[in-house]
Amino acid sequence: MQNRREFLKTSLAVSAGFLGLQQLVNAQFREPITKTLDYGYGELMPDPNKIMDLPKGFSYKIISRKGNKMADGFLVPGRPDGMATFNGANGKIIIVRNHENSPHNLVDSAFGENYSLLSKLDKKKFYDFGRGKMPSLGGTSTIIFDEKKQEIVQESLSLVGTNRNCAGGKTPWNSWITCEEDVNLAGEVAEKSHGFNFEVPATEKIRLANPQPIKAMGRFNHEAVCVDPKTNIIYQTEDAHDGLIYRFMPLNPKDLTKGGKLQALAIKGQKSLDTRNWNELNTTKVTVNQELEVEWIDMENVESPENNLRYQGFDKGAARFARGEGMWFGNNEFYFACTNGGNIKKGQVFRYKPSPAEGTAEENRQPATVSLFAEPNNSEIVKYCDNLTIAPWGDIVMCEDDTDPYLVGVTPKGEFYRLAHNVGFKCELAGVTFSPSGNTLFVNIQDAGLTLAITGAWKK
């Protein structure tokens, strides 16, 4: 393990990679950063309950636990993953939450380990009922949360019958797009093929969403999406070691099932660029702060029964990324994490700046750019960055997909800090998201099946 001086020295070198929250400048022409933050809100204090270490003055509350009975009579599903928050009435918050369950995850099922509650739900509500033998157990649940009292008002299922709902993204029209990280085809057990996105309304009148796949968004190992509120273009990550970044331009944002155009990101003048920077590739092809002009390649046969969209796109010139994961839209830009990118495969974070003419014929004259913001190659700074969000005041907050995970923050000045430490369970943190007010941070401890609400003096 590095000593303190070595850690700070490395942090200074890497922190320039996160300067996307302010104007980028070439590192050799800028004034050196004179400080970095080991703990942005202070040293992490040991939790007497041995679950989550937090800075002094911060506290957490477990608001949801797998297996507890919900308002609809079903059990809180396990393996909570990506989620987002929406404004409700009278100070309430709507939280839509994924569950990364597969048909065999009976211990994490909303219907009990022996399917004892399955008969209480019409099979037509499921996307894939598994021919009545092995229904798909992923999906979403929705929580109505009283932020003032810091307690749940209601909790119920909101989508059933999908597989491995990993991440997703919120839309400007008050819905959550949930993504399947599963590409199993219909067969002897599964009634329907998987690998699609589904839309779940964010509403206080919780009901099961229509389980209709948005096939035009492509069939692949989906991870996360984000939506540009100016254009309604939806961007997507692919959780594959050789994945692509996609955008979907819907014909009708109010009904995504009406179709649209799916495209893959390519770098102008650098056909099939490999951004992963892996040592075995023998060369670093993308450097921190390097702004690369973007063009977009049309995809064909997007329902892809062979799960080969990433090969089709790469052959046409699309750029390759290492396990695209979390993605979040900020102020006229978005960020996405690549979990095992970089020389030592510990993770990268990229930033995308849309063209002023994004999605139109004029975008080639003013192209969008993508930049590598961080490639620490140092697990003392960040390791296996996964879900991420942007705080209302500009900090990036990232989950680590690791057995000893932290929440890692990065300030607008590019200063790293550790915000929280999962000391209770050897499993990843997931679904990090702030309440609309910015006063509460929600996060999941996945294998434990816990959803936590963290409060403190965030804006100091």
DSSP assignment of 418-429 equals EEEEE-S-SS-E
Mean pLDDT, residues 69-78 taken together = 98
Location of structure tokens 């309604």? 232
Q: Which pLDDT belongs to residue 459? A: 77
Burial of 436 (0-12, 13-18, 19+ CB in 10 A): middle
How far apart (Å, rounded) are the C-alpha atoms in residues 152 and 145? 4
Q: Which pLDDT belongs to residue 298? A: 98
Q: How far is CA 392 from the centre of its chain?
A: 17
Query: What one-character DSSP code corresponds to residue 127?
Result: S
Question: Residue 40 — very low, low, confident or very high, per pLDDT cuts 50/70/90?
Answer: confident
Question: Residue 410 — very low, low, confident or very high, per pLDDT cuts 50/70/90?
Answer: confident
Summarised one tens digit per residue, pLDDT across range 316-347 is 999 999 999 999 999 999 999 999 999 999 99
Residue 198 predicted with pLDDT over 70: yes
Mean pLDDT, residues 138-164 taken together = 98
Residue type, 323: R
Name the helix (H) or strand (E) containing 314: helix 309-316
Q: Which pLDDT belongs to residue 377? A: 84
The two tokens of residue 227 are 């939506």
Give backbone dihedrals phi and psi of 130, rounded to 5 degrees, phi first: 60, 35
Residue by residue, DSSP assigns 186-226 as P-SS-SS----EEEEE--SS--PPP----GGG--S-EEEEE
> 278: phi > 0 → left, psi -120 to 50 → alpha, else beta; which?
beta
Highest averaged pLDDT of the listed ranges 4-8, 29-33, 425-429? 425-429
Question: Residue 21 — very low, low, confident or very high, per pLDDT cuts 50/70/90?
Answer: very low
Q: What is the pTM of this model?
A: 0.91
Is the distance from CB of 383 to CB of 357 less than 8 angstroms?
A: no
Mark 86-109 as b/e (b = at least 16 C-beta within 10 Å). Answer: bebeeebbbbbbbbbbbbebeebb
Residue type, 234: I
Give backbone dihedrals phi and psi of 256, rounded to 5 degrees, phi first: -65, -20
Q: How many residues does the chain have?
A: 460
- Taking the CA atoms of residue 442, residue 38, residue 376 and residue 83 in that order, the dihedral angle to the nearest 10 degrees is 0
Residue 7 predicted with pLDDT over 70: no
Cross-strand partners of 91: none
Tell me the CA distances in angstroms from 136 to 69, 139, 171, 300, 384, one per residue in order.
Answer: 20, 8, 25, 28, 28
Q: Which pLDDT belongs to residue 442? A: 98
Mean pLDDT, residues 179-193 taken together = 95
Q: What is the mean pLDDT of the chain?
A: 90
Question: Residue 71 — very low, low, confident or very high, per pLDDT cuts 50/70/90?
Answer: very high
| pLDDT top residue among 379 and 249 | 249
Q: Which pLDDT belongs to residue 28? A: 28
For the sheet with 440-445, list strands across it.
Answer: 59-65, 450-455, 440-445, 429-434
Summarised one tens digit per residue, pLDDT across range 211-227 is 999 999 999 999 999 99
Q: Which pLDDT belongs to residue 32? A: 29
Q: Which pLDDT belongs to residue 38? A: 59
Nearest Cα to 386, choosing from 436, 448, 421, 430?
A: 430
The two tokens of residue 254 are 């109010």
The two tokens of residue 373 are 């913001």
Residue 14 predicted with pLDDT over 90: no
Q: Which pLDDT belongs to residue 393? A: 86
Q: Provide, for the chain, the percentages of residues in helix, strand and coil under a 3-state DSSP scheme, each rounded to the nearest 5.
A: 10, 40, 50
Residue 106 predicted with pLDDT over 70: yes
